[in-house]
Amino acid sequence: MPLSDQKKNPPCKHLLIFILSQLVTAFCLFLYLRPSRDPGPEAWAGNPSSVIVQPGNNSTAPEAGSELTILLWTWPFGQRVALQKCSELFGIRDCHITANRSWYHKANAVIVHHRDVCFSPKKLPQAPRPPSQHWIWFNLESPSHSPNLNFMDNLFNLTMSYRRDSDIFTPYGWLEVLSQPQNFSIPAKSKLVAWAVSNWNPASHRVQYYEELKKYLHVDIYGSHHMSLPRDKHFSILSQYKFYLAFENSLHEDYITEKLWNNALGSGAVPVVCGPPRKNYERFLPSDAFIHIDDFPNAQGLAQYLQELDKDPARYQRYFQWRTWLKPSERSSWTVHFCKACRALQMTETYQTRPGLAKWFR
């Protein structure tokens, strides 16, 4: 039985102590890290005992000054998006964010999205770099899906990724602290387990685990070559399930993606995770907000536990106690990432070169 189901303290009291301890630790870390790192509240994960939380949009705007220009060398994956104002997202001074390359020689920083340039050095800016211009390496893919890192060495000044030790920390999601407790209503459940997967690789760890799991438990699978999951019905379909398999396509530190944040938590399902170790997840989530496959000796043990929870509403509802004071952020977009870069540039004067980016990221 997982550790999260063996707690003896009353759930509400335990949750309150958890939140208070995280806020105290977060505040201390914020004061310590602010001069040299991206100071966003969601970057308060420097201590393994801290969960990444955000107490609302109450950032203090920096002093007035000239507007910084950030050039998007490419739209990530070629996806053009409508840009929001950073002042509205984070309460900071706005930056001029543009994808027009004619601004290259005037830009204070250039964001280079790894997957759009990694197949040839010629896809990088070829003109001489203006003095003091920052190049920001931006990547949300795992090392397993980030080819050709070696020619990125000695080019970039700042890193921006889901890794907590990035210069600009841009996770796939985070939790926000509510100003007052809420009564979270668990969506009506009529089905047990769902999994949406687009890249079906029979040799992958997650598919091999599923092949064993299905011997003991039925799982509804959506995605390519499986049941259809229309974008406009995504959440309404997944919210019918008690559990969602948030199985990552590769196992790396801090690589916790939209599979957990959007598909599971966003639809009100309890995530069953396959990814980095439990302790890594607990830097992002309370320990009783998810179920880790490592909590069980094998897939049969997991299947038995999910079937037990299905028959015991009280035990199942414990996985939602944390939502009394916390909620997943709904501000996940490309603009959020760009505005975090804007905020970091306003808060730091550091200009450095990353000589071993490939070694660091791997």
Rounded distance between C-alpha atoms, residue 65 and residue 345, angstroms: 12
The pLDDT assigned to 331 comes to 78
What pLDDT, in 10s, does the model give residues 289-333? Answer: 999 999 999 999 999 999 999 999 999 999 999 999 999 998 779
Check residues 42 and 301 and name the one with the higher pLDDT: 301
Any idea how long the chain is?
362
Q: Write down the domain spans for the chain.
A: 43-177+331-361, 191-321
Superfamily of domain 191-321: Glycosyl transferase family 10, C-terminal domain (3.40.50.11660)
Rounded distance between C-alpha atoms, residue 360 and residue 268, angstroms: 35
Average pLDDT score, the chain: 86
The pLDDT assigned to 30 comes to 41
Q: Active site includes 349?
A: no
* pLDDT value at 26 more than 80: no
* pLDDT value at 35 more than 50: no
Rounded distance between C-alpha atoms, residue 201 and residue 188, angstroms: 32
What pLDDT, in 10s, does the model give residues 101-121? Answer: 999 999 999 999 999 999 999
Rounded distance between C-alpha atoms, residue 216 and residue 206, angstroms: 16
* pLDDT value at 238 more than 80: yes
Q: What is the mean pLDDT of residues 145-159?
A: 94
Q: What is the mean pLDDT of residues 212-234?
A: 94
Q: What angle do CA 68, 62, 156 make, to 5 degrees?
A: 45
- Place 32 in a pLDDT band, splitting at 50, 70 and 90: very low
The pLDDT assigned to 58 comes to 42
- Place 180 in a pLDDT band, splitting at 50, 70 and 90: very high
Q: Which residue among 141, 176, 248, 282 is the active-site one?
A: 141
